[in-house]
């Protein structure tokens, strides 16, 4: 059995979260006030939840993937989200954001 701690959405900076792909549920996103997500998995047809703005940056999970090509685009998305007082996070290289001001 997988530890609950391994399947969690972790706040790594104020308004910035990181998690594995399998950890994301609509309930967790709602509880955290998530409004934006960067999906950097290579999984086609991922679930999409209403009220979430997505940025896709498809990356294969291997040592030769050029993730650098997405840095500027993702950084801009994070910055624009931050300016809106939202929260952003990453899951298995997937980002989620929220406007929950109480966090």
Q: Tell me which residue range forms the domain holding 49.
A: 4-98
The predicted pLDDT at position 82 comes to 82
Q: Are strands 34-39 and 94-98 parallel, antiparallel or unpaired?
A: antiparallel
Give the count of domains, the chain: 1
The predicted pLDDT at position 93 comes to 46
List the CATH number of the domain containing 27: 3.90.190.10
Q: What is the pLDDT along the chain (103 residues), one digit of tens a residue?
A: 455 556 788 888 877 888 877 788 889 888 888 888 888 888 888 888 888 899 988 888 888 888 889 899 999 998 888 888 665 555 554 544 555 554 4
Q: Check residue 72 and give left, alpha or beta (phi > 0: left; psi -120 to 50: alpha).
A: alpha
The predicted pLDDT at position 103 comes to 46
């Amino acid at each position: 059995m997988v530890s609950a701690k391994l399947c969690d959405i972790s706040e790594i900076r104020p308004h910035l979260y990181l998690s594995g792909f399998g950890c994301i549920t609509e309930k967790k996103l709602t509880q955290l006030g998530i409004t934006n997500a960067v999906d950097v998995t290579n999984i086609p047809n991922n679930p999409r939840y209403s009220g979430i703005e997505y940025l896709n940056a498809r990356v294969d999970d291997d040592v030769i993937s050029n993730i650098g090509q997405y840095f500027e685009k993702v950084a801009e998305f994070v910055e624009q989200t931050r300016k809106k007082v939202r929260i952003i996070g990453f899951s298995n290289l997937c980002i989620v954001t929220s406007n929950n001001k109480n966090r």
